[in-house]
Chain A
């Protein structure tokens, strides 16, 4: 499974069925398009750190606005 596919899965899990798979595109803005609030963003961050065995700083977390940026950050940290 690619990072993109894993991230899409995590986003759907974090939204607990309130999002259609088609809405999770690379360009989708997490806050505006996918309607993640601060608590939702934190849930997603916890799931992501668990899944990829990574720790992100607040600065890194704040830098991510879109799904594509999230995938790029994870790949960069994994050295992919």
Chain B
């Protein structure tokens, strides 16, 4: 079947009722986000500006694929791309490629302002990350052991856990300063290079002696992955980290991820406290807070599954080398 045999159109009230059928064809009723099974809730998400999704129809008008952008970060202007679905009857076609490049076309982007789109590509195969690179996305962070391998019904990995590569396409000019931790200055400047110009400075101010640390978090219980986004740092930063690690052990977290705002001028001192507690670099989360985010990580209770990681771009391969070396130096 050629690409001319598919029509991809934005989900609207005329076709929202077809979305649940696409999810059921692949996940049954087990997809963890429940609104996808209710046309009215899908439309409510779209009307609230939290979702922009598209359906693919085959030549006779059957819904056969889906892809979505949704909000999933502290920055309300940042979209995450995901939920790329192709029903089994069309799996032998090129539809997955067509859907992957759909939102990389400027004319298909949501009408309201966007700082960019990020995606998290699983790294036990090349499909998503290669598609991302060929659609103009760059590779910025590699989070080890992020996903439970057992969660893949098809095309499962050979390892227990799967790493994810954060890919990003920037769509607005950044404002504000970008403070970098001196420990990772060179590596982060390398990652920043393809992005739009921003004012970069080393964040060398000491930790504050007043105020509280503020953060938001997402706990992916099925994956054992806990992501904490830190927007301000206060006097309690060392105690905050100790408490975080204790809670992570109690929750049996495998992938612990902390994203620091690059708007923090004390980021070098903050990272120093983290490295003393075993955190190592994950990479850059561009525009995560509006300002960029600097991601550090730990894999708890096990050695990272390096063997199953497949990386497409030279940037991603170099980042993995750096991360392995950084982890070893932190643990030494």
Interface residues of chain A, those whose CB is within 8 Å of chain B, are 31-32, 37-39, 42-43, 45-46, 57-58, 61-62
Q: Which residue of A lies closest to B155 (CB)?
A: A39
Please tell me if the beta carbons of B97 and A38 are within 8 angstroms of each other in the complex.
yes
CA A61 to CA B133, docked complex, whole Å? 14
CA A46 to CA B314, docked complex, whole Å? 12
Please tell me if the beta carbons of B134 and A57 are within 8 angstroms of each other in the complex.
yes
Please tell me if the beta carbons of B126 and A42 are within 8 angstroms of each other in the complex.
yes
Instruction: List A contacts of B76 (CB < 8 A).
Output: none
Please tell me if the beta carbons of B126 and A46 are within 8 angstroms of each other in the complex.
yes
**Taking A37-B91, A37-B92, A58-B134 as contacts, is the C-beta distance between A42 and B125 under 8 angstroms?**
yes
Instruction: List A contacts of B98 (CB < 8 A).
Output: 62
* Cβ of A55 to closest chain B Cβ, rounded Å: 8
Count residues on chain B whose CB falls below 8 Å from chain A CBs. Answer: 20
Q: Does B127 contact A (CB under 8 A)?
A: yes
* Cβ of B67 to closest chain A Cβ, rounded Å: 14
Interface residues of chain B, those whose CB is within 8 Å of chain A, are 3, 86, 91-94, 96-98, 100-101, 125-127, 130-131, 134-135, 155, 312
Please tell me if the beta carbons of A62 and B134 are within 8 angstroms of each other in the complex.
no
CA A22 to CA B44, docked complex, whole Å? 55
Number of A-B contacts (CB under 8 A): 40
Instruction: List B contacts of A38 (CB < 8 A).
Output: 86, 91, 94, 96-97, 127
Please tell me if the beta carbons of B127 and A42 are within 8 angstroms of each other in the complex.
yes
**Among A43, A46, A58, contact of B135 (Cβ-Cβ < 8 Å):** A58
Instruction: List B contacts of A31 (CB < 8 A).
Output: 92-93
CA A62 to CA B5, docked complex, whole Å? 13
CA A13 to CA B130, docked complex, whole Å? 19
CA A42 to CA B127, docked complex, whole Å? 6
Please tell me if the beta carbons of B131 and A58 are within 8 angstroms of each other in the complex.
yes
Instruction: List A contacts of B126 (CB < 8 A).
Output: 39, 42-43, 45-46
Please tell me if the beta carbons of A62 and B94 are within 8 angstroms of each other in the complex.
yes
Interface core residue of B93, B98, B126, B312 (most chain A CB under 10 Å)? B126
Instruction: List A contacts of B100 (CB < 8 A).
Output: 58
**Taking A38-B97, A58-B97 as contacts, is the C-beta distance between A45 and B155 under 8 angstroms?**
no
Which 6 A/B pairs are nearest by Cβ-Cβ distance?
Answer: A42-B127, A42-B126, A38-B96, A58-B134, A39-B125, A62-B94
Chosen A-B contacts, 21 in total, with CB atoms closer than 8 Å, are: A31-B92, A37-B92, A38-B91, A39-B155, A42-B125, A42-B126, A42-B130, A42-B131, A43-B125, A45-B130, A46-B126, A46-B130, A57-B134, A58-B97, A58-B101, A58-B131, A58-B134, A58-B135, A61-B134, A62-B3, A62-B94
